[in-house]
Structure 1
């Protein structure tokens, strides 16, 4: 049984994120921890440590009317879990629980599910916004980013560039979602230069073919930062698997990454595994 963290921020309840967890439970029972973060001021929240919180640092919290809405969402979460026979827990604390607490939660979980469209949408107009980028960057377990409207995955798109992080993500995805390994799977290498072949082709093919029964290798002869999102829009019913963006400068790398374009399109779920 997997332990899944499903995060709801402020007054937003993501139907898409919950539905993905529910479908996972239908395939194999899971434990879902619903984390209800307060509607807070985003600035520097990752820098709040538990010691600082304990020493009297005040984190801006929700207004009274927002707190009532969050309570309604908690009751909805409980009702949906009971209706769908999902074992669940609830974690909320409107006074001092914010991103440091979420980071600690991920240390003891198999997967974190976030909504790509509504997750702290008030903190900025860019997509993915700064909060979502930092949540991905700081998570200590793999992250699944889910749009509100999507088809449950019937095919896997494994983004591969020869890096340690891309191979790590491919392995983590197979370990966490063995039920998806029988899906049609594309090991995708994007490179505009016709003379450049898959990095470590034999090694990666040997590894992936052990886990993914319907595997094909496909080289996309374009610049992924420019055209990958366009290509992925035609892959309805897919899930994109990607390695980490790099812990040292995640925000800058995300801005330049083709993965951010896929997240912005809100068409495909995206699985990201930090090393």
Structure 2
């Protein structure tokens, strides 16, 4: 049985993350852990809201903190109901120290971490990818599924493959962690330079590997600039696809799966991204 963790902010619950996590855990009969990041330094209210006639009002603080407690309890209740309705095995963790550090530690003991791409653990909205998600992806110890703000059932998988070890590693981790989803439509997507071969890199080895793990996969080889061609191709999808891609960390050597590609996909395609990088 696999262990999947879903990172949740009880003050701004990402319901799509819960929906993706529950759907995936149910299809795989996995154990799901709701990791509620109840960082003691984080509140839904702002400091100026505590101001009273004589400075900081402890009465206002008590009211606002009670409101936060109620929001967090409602978020946990939503998660429990979703898990119970899907008849899945689950547990709940309340991490009350620094959110990023707690989540990175949790990831050591997980097969997959699911998080909504807009997560900030702050009062403020940020452009994608948020600082919290960037820092998480750079230090995480297990594969991550970054999901959009609206849930759509996964009906197709597109593996972005450039022949680099990072993209092969991501493919392998997808096979180990999520192949049990039993998605019928699997695509291996490659972009070669104009005038180069119409085969995927390391054609014989890659197809030999895929035949053992995802034998029904089909291969699409495009020509041109990777970022341009990948986006153009993905925009022909109906939106129900999951994308698999390799290294995220800064400084990793990869022809296209550098941070800018992952950032671009988070911003432009609104699809779940399965991201795994070898250390």
For 1:22, the equivalent position in structure 2 comes to: 22
The one-character-per-residue Cα deviations of 1:21-73 (angstroms, maximum 9, x if unpaired) are 2222332322111111136xxxxxxxxxxxxxxxxxxx733251334312221
Q: Distance in 2 between matches of 1:119 and 1:270?
A: 18
For 1:91, the equivalent position in structure 2 comes to: 93
Normalised TM-score (structure 2): 0.81
Query: SS of 2:217's equivalent?
Result: strand
Structure 1 position 88, deviation (Å): 1.6
CA 241–19 in structure 1, closer or farther in 2 if over 3 Å, else same: same
Structure 1 position 124, deviation (Å): 5.5
Query: SS of 2:211's equivalent?
Result: helix
> Residues 121-140 of structure 1 correspond to what in structure 2 (within 5 A)?
122=123, 125-140=126-141
Q: Distance in 1 between matches of 2:100 and 2:207?
A: 38
Q: CA RMSD in A?
A: 2.5
Q: Distance in 2 between matches of 1:69 and 1:152?
A: 27
Q: Confirm or deny: 8 A CA contact 2:187 2:219 kept in the other structure.
A: yes
Normalised TM-score (structure 1): 0.82
Query: SS of 1:177's equivalent?
Result: helix
> Mind listing any 5+ residue stretches in structure 2 that lack a counterpart?
46-64
Structure 1 position 247, deviation (Å): 5.1
Q: Confirm or deny: 8 A CA contact 1:155 1:185 kept in the other structure.
A: yes
Q: Distance in 2 between matches of 1:222 and 1:137?
A: 29
For 1:264, the equivalent position in structure 2 comes to: 267
For 2:34, the equivalent position in structure 1 comes to: 34
Q: Confirm or deny: 8 A CA contact 1:146 1:270 kept in the other structure.
A: yes
For 2:191, the equivalent position in structure 1 comes to: 190
Query: SS of 2:87's equivalent?
Result: coil
Q: Distance in 2 between matches of 1:260 and 1:66?
A: 32
Query: SS of 1:214's equivalent?
Result: coil
Runs of 4 or more, structure 1, over 6 Å off, are: none
Residues 1:163 and 2:164 aligned together: yes
For 2:50, the equivalent position in structure 1 comes to: none
> Residues 59-138 of structure 1 correspond to what in structure 2 (within 5 A)?
60-62=41-43, 64=65, 65-94=67-96, 96-120=97-121, 122=123, 125-138=126-139
Q: Distance in 1 between matches of 2:269 and 2:202?
A: 32
Q: Distance in 2 between matches of 1:134 and 1:18?
A: 21
Structure 1 position 224, deviation (Å): 2.2
